[in-house]
Amino acid sequence: MGAPPRVAVPDTRELAAQFEDEKPGRSLTGPVGLLVTGTTVGIALLALVQVFQPLPQGSKYYLIIFLAGVLPTVFLAYPAGLSIPWRPGRTPASGDGPDPAGPTRSDWLLAAAALVACLYPVLPFTVGGGGGGYDAFLDRQGLLVGLDVAMGTVLLLLLLEACRRTTGWILPAVCLLFLAYGYYGGLLPQSWPVAHAGLDFGQLVDAFYNSDSGFYGTPLDVAASYIVLFTIYGAVLDLSGAGRFFVELSAAAFRRSRTAAGRTAVASGFLLGTVSGSGAATTVSIGAVTWPVLRRAGYPAERAGGMLAAAGVGAILSPPTLGAAAFIIAEYLGVSYLQVLGWATIPTVLYYLGILLAVEIDARRSGVRPVVVHADSPWRLLGRFGYHFLSLLVITGLLALGVSATKAVVGATVLAAALSFLDRRHRLTPARLVEALGTGARGVLAVSAVCAAAGIITATTTKTGLGPQAAALLVSGAQAVSSDPAVVLALTAVLAAVALTLLGLAVPVTASFVIGWVIIGPALLDLGVAAPAAAMFVFYFAVLSEVSPPTALAAVAAAAVTGGRLVPTMWQTLRYALPAYLIPIAFVITPAGLGLLGIGGPQRVAVAAVVSALGVAVLAVAAGGWLPGVGPAGVPERILGALAGLTLLWLEPVPVTVGAVLAAAVVAGVLVRRGSANRTGEPSATPPVNPGEENSETDQRAAGRGSGGARPRRERRRRLRGQTGRRDEGRRRQRDHLQGH
């Protein structure tokens, strides 16, 4: 048995919740807490049973029951967040204020209404021409009676309110905008490309409530069939101690390296992504542990925050557990989840290559000092707690054997729960197993509400034909600039990237992907982009909303941990995450770019990976102003490096040749600069600092200035001169004292 690890992982859930797409819910206790826990555990068990014993009525019937459990729970678990005006002289009832500790009377009423509206399609008896059971409800598709429309309207309003409570006002506003377009679109001038014949309210409710593209469409199906299982798996893995182990292993692996602090942060972000599906939550978790180490190493708060945010968001982009939108890709394209993981592998490697190069560059440019990370031997940690990796390997192995993603993750969950008994501190006893099931199901409440509400957008787009019309507008905008097909495709990709980034600033990642796929996806497909490339392009830019200013939730979370200034932290995050913005464009603008998704044979894949890695490397040099192993890069070399990186990502023979020549010019320029510095007698690199030397405010300020580490050296020389002067003054006083005697 190894000694207990010394790197602690504090509880950061409350802090992380403040910066996630979803708002933090209530901490419920007492009878209400038991009710919510029982409901969430029931939802979890229903999802697990559905994997092996599906309901005989079909998947839509399961989605109705699933939403009937989720939506009422949202109103109990999430406060309204609204101030209720009270008449003068009247005292509000307990719990009815703007921030109640428990559900209010209105919350209970909304929960009851949600339960009735959700279960109405399976109502076994007839009421006012409606009801009559599930089959009767389906038979009325396109011919809804008044009670059907009324119940569908109630469910529509309740879903909008649930989204407002869990994610804010913007997504409900977007849904209402699409609803208004569907209802009033017939009043637009018919010469406008986005005009349509118009839909009455009953037709819209029918599309939302009684079709396969509305509330019970693919997004909710993914939430109820996949996401809930992966959140349960993450909760089990977390409670079994895996999160603590991953951070400790990262710290131990690099404890003797000069860049140990930065490498630990990056590796922790990658590993913790298997436990947390949120970029902000991962950022806070790794920041709570690694920021003290980064600070001692001399990283300015803003630079450290950028590193933490980029590493945290990278967890959503990394196999084997990608973000929720990855499951929607598999459903939309009709492929296995394993294929989606394969598409994400090379872009993930390139993303972390860019971050690690930036870490190495910052360590030399900013005068980062080695620090001692107190952690056990990595081999001892692996020998004692390495079993936490087994469940991840099981997921990948079962997927490779053709097992469905749902059965693979259930098998991994059972294995993780069993392995927890190898550590007495984290054994999943029956009580803790109930906690894991409840936590996992509660983690899917907000995303389920978002996915159901996304049905408003998808159904409206399908009924009105908005997708092809918007795609035609996007393409025509690019064609107005040039008629060359390659230029049109490149401009369309850039415009689509900008549009997706702006969209992601306003709505959660899952909703951003759904909207982007139905609006922007057709534009890329019309220009000949392969469906996998188009889907992954939309996925990446939907995820990158977490690091894109001015919202950049992961960067905001990192700034809260480090205490750094917000805007500089956001810009540092962009610098670290730069490959994630450029690689998706690379595999869209040219057929050779499909090699980055592992498509097109070994030769295309190898060439695309190597050339793109070179492009990422020279972009890191351009952004950081330093060539690792050589020395600082000046402004000319940085400009050439930026041009070389962008050119190399256009994976065609001529651009690749030009980019390689420019990259060679960058290396030659840095070598010449280093030779000139050596001839003039100036050091070309920052000398190492005593590992035991503590950081100071002067060091931190100096580390954030300049590009060659000159100011940190001047500060150290000034301190040495001061110490020498104090020693000389002490000797003079001692000599005078002796002479006086």
Run means of pLDDT, 10 residues per run, the chain, 741 residues: 41 51 71 92 94 90 95 93 53 45 90 95 85 88 89 95 88 91 87 83 92 88 90 88 81 71 80 67 78 83 88 78 80 89 90 88 76 73 88 88 90 92 89 91 90 90 86 85 86 88 76 87 90 92 78 79 86 86 89 90 92 92 85 89 92 92 92 77 44 37 40 51 50 46 41
Q: How many domains does the chain have?
A: 1
Q: Determine, yes or no, domain membership for 655.
A: yes
Whether 658 is covered by a domain: the verdict is: yes
CA–CA dist 596, 351 (Å, integer): 12
pTM above threshold 0.85: no
Quote the pLDDT of residue 663: 92
Q: What is the pLDDT of residue 96?
A: 43
Q: How far apart are CA 348 and CA 269, in angstroms?
A: 13
Q: Is residue 173 part of a domain?
A: no
d(CA 264, CA 175): 41
648 within domain boundaries? yes
Q: Helices H, strands E: what count in the chain?
A: 34, 4
**CA neighbor of 713 nearest in space, from 676, 672, 674, 684:** 684
Cα 734 from Cα 741, distance rounded (Å): 11
Residues 6+ apart with CB under 8 A from 718: none
State the CB neighbour count (10 A cutoff) for residue 116.
Answer: 14
Distances (CA, A) of 696 to 83, 700, 719: 46, 6, 12
User: What is the rounded distance in angstroms from the CA atom of residue 99 to the CA atom of residue 78?
Assistant: 10
What whole-number distance in Å separates Cα of residue 75 and Cα of residue 113?
A: 10
> Exposed (0-12), middle (13-18) or buried (19+): which is 628, by Cβ within 10 Å?
middle
Range of 664's domain? 601-677
Return the residue matching tokens 């399961």: 62
- pLDDT, residue 654, reads 92
φ and ψ at residue 130, rounded to 5 degrees: -105, -170
Question: What stretches of 254-336 show up as alpha helix (H) in DSSP?
Answer: 260-272, 279-297, 301-314, 324-333
Considering only CA atoms, which of 33, 5, 447, 31 is closest in space to residue 226? Answer: 447
Structure tokens at 540: 């990446």
Kindly state the DSSP code that residue 92 receives in the 8-state scheme: P
Identify whether 105 is part of a domain.
no
Does 651 map to a domain?
Answer: yes
362: left (phi over 0), alpha (psi -120 to 50) or beta: alpha
| Of 208, 329, 291, residue with least CA distance to 557 | 291
In angstroms, rounded to a whole number, what is the distance separating the alpha carbons of residues 82 and 161?
12
Please give the structure tokens belonging to residue 269.
């972000």
**Cα–Cα distance, 251 to 257 (Å, whole number):** 10
Q: Please indicate, yes or no, if residue 660 is contained in any of the structural domains.
A: yes
Are 410 and 229 spatial neighbours (Cβ–Cβ below 8 Å)?
Answer: yes
| Residue 341: CB atoms within 10 Å | 23
Q: Using alpha carbons, select from 589, 585, 594, 654 the residue that is nearest to residue 616.
A: 585
- Round to the nearest angstrom and report the end-to-end CA distance of the chain: 66
What CA–CA distance (Å, rounded) separates 200 from 219?
25
**Selection from 29, 43, 127 nearest residue 441 by Cα:** 43
647 assigned to some structural domain: yes
CA dist 646 to 13, 503, 579, 637, 642, Å? 39, 25, 10, 14, 6
